[in-house]
Amino acid sequence: MAKKETVFFCQQCGYESPKWMGQCPACKEWNSFVEETVKSEKGKKVKAIDNAAKIVSINAVEGLDNARVKTGIGEFDRVLGGGLVNGSLVLIGGDPGIGKSTILLQVCRNLANCGKKVLYISGEESVQQIKLRADRLGAFTDDLSLACETSLTSIENMIENNKPQFVVIDSIQTMYGEDVNSAPGSVSQVREATNTFLRIAKSLDITIFLVGHVTKEGAVAGPRVLEHMVDTVLYFEGDRHASYRILRGVKNRFGSTNEIGVFEMRDTGLREVENPSEFMIEGKPKDSSGSVIACSMEGTRPILLEVQALVCNSNLAIPRRTTVGADINRVNQLMAVLEKRAGFNMFNCDAYVNIAGGIRMNEPAIDLGIALAIISSYKDKPIDDKTICFGEIGLSGEVRSVSMAEQRVKEAKKLGFTTCIMPAINLKSMAEDKEIKLIGIESVKELSRFLS
């Protein structure tokens, strides 16, 4: 009898090793190696290439843009770069219960309502359970079919017989290939399943959505190669206990990756939030110190957000610095700059910085907002409620220019703000505005004059 070939895979990153190891040399995770049987490739005949690759001139290739299919959910289309491209593989990751199945069922509903043939395959829920969820979302047409299946061979047959234009696989970690001997969700199985769906999507020119579970670090569980194989990777984020959800594109072969879509979870499913700025700054306390409105760009869309800071005397030898939604290293750096370049001595202060609404923002343009919130809390003096700010802060305390200043000012005007604190360099190239007072600053030294 032929000896079974086994190798060890790191379940975190997919690193392959012939021997068991305590720590993965690639991702440094401990105890992540699991033995898996691999298919023997020996003796397998290489399939003859029947349609040899053709060389074509770039101008002779027909564009795909007109072929984009709208899902009927504007925010979802925005993240996809304007709609779905035929024959693509879309991976949606996110924490359990965040709404992955819900949004895909809504997308399926819209596509089916437009006469498209859709197949929803679930390995996690029974068809009755899917129906129960569907009842909350509205009426469905007969073009949407459901199936409860985990075997890759059966699914392949199902797709070939049913000939759907769109398929949802919920989730990739439950799928099982018979010729791979490891458990569903293991690296080899996930890789095999993704490969199968990739082949189906490209050969039949259908769009397949894959739902991916995430690890505790927030990455899609399974090998990194999963993200490389698919065309588009979207992450659903947001606090499960709050009602809003953010869909973020992290990889997109057919569009920009910076776009986000904002949704609100209602009892009738996810609803789009068309003006996220309004949503983000809702409930800002009035005349309170340590609260500032900043403006960040997410792709092509400006989003206003409230930066909150609380600076208080510390009883600890090493003061506590905590952030939610902002980068902690950035906050530490900004506090050091404020101390050295503007004379705010906060070395013995605890500092807590929070981007209200639980949204994660790492754009340097919110530096000015964070700095203003910190000094406002430190001095316990509020910043005018109708003021917004944006700008990057350098280590010398200089306020550096940011991109798309006009769009940011326009968004602030739209929401009724009357003053905008911005980098002086950006102001030079902008015309004066009657509706909003634009104040250009060059250094963090000028910040204290905005405290009222």
Task: Round to whole Å and give the CA distance between 309 and 290.
Answer: 5
Cα angle 102-103-104, degrees, rounded to a multiple of 5: 95
Binding flag, residue 94, ligand TYD (CB under 6 A):
yes
Cβ proximity of 306 and 382 under 8 Å? no
Q: Is the Cβ of residue 57 or residue 128 nearer to ligand TYD in the bound state?
A: 128
- Write down the least CB distance from residue 93 to Mg ion, Å: 12
Q: What tokens does 197 get?
A: 């769906």
Nearer to ligand TYD, 45 or 241 (CB): 241
Please identify, among the stretches 79-87, 94-102, 172-180, 295-303, the one whose residues bind ligand TYD according to the rule CB under 6 A.
94-102
Q: 285 contacts which partner out of ligand TYD, Mg ion, none, CB within 5 to 8 A by kind?
A: none
Output the CA angle 190-192-194, nearest 5 degrees.
65
Contacts of 39 (CB under 8 A, 6+ apart): 179, 180
Q: How far is the CB of 265 from ligand TYD (least distance, A)?
A: 5
Question: What's the alpha-carbon Rg for the chain, to the nearest Å?
Answer: 26
Asked whether position 97 contacts ligand TYD by CB under 6 A, the answer is yes
SS3 state at 317: coil
Q: Which residues contact 35 (CB under 8 A, 6 or more apart)?
A: 6, 7, 8, 20
102 binds, among ligand TYD, Mg ion, none (CB under 5 to 8 A by kind): ligand TYD
Record the tokens describing residue 227, joined without a space.
């993200």
96 touches ligand TYD (CB under 6 A): yes
Residue 101 or 182: the one with the smaller Cβ distance to Mg ion is: 101
Least distance in angstroms from the C-beta of 129 to ligand TYD: 10
- Using rule CB under 6 A, residue 265 touches ligand TYD: yes
Which one of the spans 36-44, 266-274, 291-299, 361-369 is the region binding ligand TYD (CB under 6 A)?
266-274
Q: Does 133 bind ligand TYD (CB under 6 A)?
A: yes
User: Would you count residue 18 as binding ligand TYD (CB under 6 A)?
Assistant: no
Nearest to 9 by CA among 253, 176, 27: 27
State the sign of the Cα–Cα–Cα–Cα dihedral 289, 293, 296, 298: positive
Instruction: Give Cβ neighbours of residue 177 (< 8 Å, ≥ 6 apart).
Output: 151, 152, 153, 189, 192, 193, 196
**Identity of the residue, 28 or 133, whose beta carbon is nearer to ligand TYD in the bound complex:** 133
CB of residue 279 vs ligand TYD: minimum separation in angstroms? 17
Comparing C-alpha atoms, which of 339, 358, 363 is closest to residue 349?
339
| Residue 212 binds which of Mg ion, ligand TYD, none (CB < 5-8 A, kind-dependent) | none
Three-state SS string over 57-126 comes to CHHHCCCCHHHCECCCCHHHHHHHCCCECCCCEEEEEECCCCCHHHHHHHHHHHHHHCCCCEEEEECCCC
Please identify the residue of the shown chain whose CB is closest to the bound Mg ion.
101
Decide: is 248 part of the binding site for ligand TYD (CB under 6 A). Answer: no
Q: Does 101 bind Mg ion (CB under 5 A)?
A: yes
Stretch that binds ligand TYD, among 159-167, 218-226, 260-268, 410-418 (CB under 6 A): 260-268
By CB under 6 A, name the one of 81, 164, 222, 269 that touches ligand TYD. 269
Written as six digits, the tokens of 33 are: 């190696």
128 binds ligand TYD (CB under 6 A): no
- Chain residues 98-127 in contact with ligand TYD, contact rule CB under 6 A: 98-102
Would you say 112 or 293 has its CB closer to ligand TYD? Answer: 112
- Classify 401 in phi/psi space as left (phi over 0), alpha (psi -120 to 50) or beta: beta
Q: Where along the sequence are the contacts to ligand TYD (CB under 6 A)?
A: 94, 96-102, 133, 136, 265, 267-269
Chain positions contacting Mg ion, by CB under 5 A: 101
